[in-house]
Every structure is written in structure tokens, then in C-alpha cells.
Amino acid sequence: MSDDRHGTQQGSWLPPVVAPAPSGPPVEDREPRGAALKRRLGPVGVALFALVKWGKAFLLLLPKVKVLSTAGTAFASVAAYALFWGWPFAVVFVALLFVHEMGHVIALRREGIRAGAPMFIPFLGAVVAMKQLPKDAAAEARVGLAGPVLGSLGALALLPIYWATGSELWLNLAYVGFLLNLFNLVPVTPLDGGRAMAALAPWMWFVGLFAVAVLVFVHPNPIIILILLVGIYDVYRRWKRRHQDRAYYTVRPATRAMIALVYLVLLVGLGIGLDLTYVHRAL
């Protein structure tokens, strides 16, 4: 981008031309017009002048803020995971998270729902904030399942790399990818499986809460505890309003059958993927 502040200085390479002295009486030296303007306007005027001058450039860069925030949070997550599992694992793992979230983004756009850019949270995963609610539970389910669908394909794409290289790094990453997407199918909000249950059987949210509560006792983990707490609040809120939102949860039988088919195929396929990529290690 050219800088017009220095255009007259840097754009002219000819020696200055000296004009002949005027024939009339001597004229007092005048301060430059720009300096006089700045002196009269003061600091506030200078700030307004700068705002007008650079405001256009700021507006042009504004759409890139989302990209920068996504890249920044992704780099922070890579750095955090690399502390425990190394850079190669961390980079690919964050890429798997990105693929999963892009499944949601694509589905949101197809449903005509405005959404923010993917944001990564170290050791918590990634999120895409919806700026408006889906029109009905069927749309919510499609958006929810799109993440595991694309995320499962992303994990599956790592297997040919493992077969070509023989490096267990890719096999382990595929296993983690399958596990990540399978866990997201637990039927409780805010997980993707809970979104699907909104269209299939909302009462399954209580089954999901029970499953997460069991995980908390068997494998205590701050992330699972957080999911349980958020799930309890969200299920209570939605179940209490289910009669008022009856139209929202009304789904055509054919649509419900298709959502159920996708959900079951994901469950079975991810289970097979976990079995094929599991590496038994002797203690």
C-alpha cells in the first residue's frame, strides 16, 4: 500500500527549482499550511484527521480480524499441546479439530445461519459460536452431526499416510481423531450428539447426562466435569420449555429417520475405526 504522506518527498528525484524573487515589497515568511491547520485544530483535530486518513485502511483490514483470531488461538493450542506431546502431534491434532469445526461452519452456512469463525481453546477443543438459533430441531441436528461427519473423514484420511510411512504417529492421531468424534456423539448438549437428540428423542439427554456422570466418577477430568455442569443446566432449561417450544421440536418422520441413520452410521463407523487403530502396549 502506498503512503501518501511521503509521496511528494520520495516521488520527486529532480533538484528543486528556485523561483525568481518577487518585485514587490518583501513578504513575511509564512508557516506551512498543514502546520497552521494542526496548530489551530489542536490534538482533537489531529486525531480526527488521522481517523479519516487511516479509517479506510482499518475497514479494509477488519474482515481479516476473524482469520487472525482463529490463527492466533490455533497457534496457542498447538503450543500448549506441544508441551506434552510434541510439535508434530500438536499440529495435526489442531488440524483435526479445525476440520471438525469446519463441518459445523459449512452446515451453518447451508442452513442460512450466521456464525463466528472457529476459536480454539487449549485442552478444551474448539468452538463455533452461532449468532442466531436454528429454525428447528432438524436444522440443529444437521449442524451438530456435520462436525463428526467431516471430522471422521479427516481422521480416516490419516490412515493412508500411516500405511505409506509406517510411522505410528499417524496411527495414533487417527485413533485420537476417531475417539474425539465418537465422544462428541454422547447424547447430551453441548456435545454434537445432544444436538442430534433434539430432533430424535430429547429424553435421551438424561441418558447422556448419566453417561457423563459415570465418566466423572470413573475418570475424573476437569473437561468432563465442565461438560456435565453445562449439560445439567442446558438440559434443565430446554426440558422445562419443551411444551412452549413444541413447534421447534416437531420433525417430519422422514427427516428423523435420516438423522437417526447418520447418527448410527457414525457410531458404528467410529467404533470400527477405534478398534482398527488401537495399539496395545505392554506395561
In a domain, residue 98? The reply is yes
Number of domains in the chain: 1
Range of the domain at 269: 64-277
Please choose, from the candidates 184, 188, 109, the residue with its C-alpha nearest in 3D space to the C-alpha of residue 143: 109
At residue 7, the pLDDT reads 39
Is 17 exposed, middle or buried (CB count within 10 Å of its CB: 0-12, 13-18, 19+)? Answer: exposed
In a domain, residue 15? The reply is no
In a domain, residue 52? The reply is no
Q: What is the pTM of this model?
A: 0.74
In a domain, residue 43? The reply is no
* pLDDT tens-digit map of 215-264: 999 988 888 999 999 999 999 999 999 899 999 999 999 999 999 999 99
Looking at per-residue confidence, does 210 or 50 come out higher?
A: 210
CA pair distance 150, 172, nearest whole angstrom: 19
Please choose, from the candidates 113, 136, 144, 134, the residue with its C-alpha nearest in 3D space to the C-alpha of residue 251: 136
In a domain, residue 118? The reply is yes
Tell me what the mean pLDDT of segment 35-56 comes to: 48
In a domain, residue 16? The reply is no
Please choose, from the candidates 127, 86, 79, the residue with its C-alpha nearest in 3D space to the C-alpha of residue 226: 127
CA pair distance 98, 70, nearest whole angstrom: 10
Alpha-carbon distances, residue 197 vs 91, 101, 205 (angstroms): 32, 19, 7
Contact 147, 184 (CB under 8 A): yes
Please choose, from the candidates 208, 163, 203, the residue with its C-alpha nearest in 3D space to the C-alpha of residue 184: 208
Tell me what the mean pLDDT of segment 178-201 comes to: 96
Looking at per-residue confidence, does 151 or 115 come out higher?
A: 151
In a domain, residue 257? The reply is yes
* pLDDT tens-digit map of 89-141: 999 999 999 999 999 999 999 999 988 888 998 888 888 888 788 999 999 99
In a domain, residue 46? The reply is no
Residue type, 142: R
CA pair distance 116, 130, nearest whole angstrom: 6
At residue 186, the pLDDT reads 96
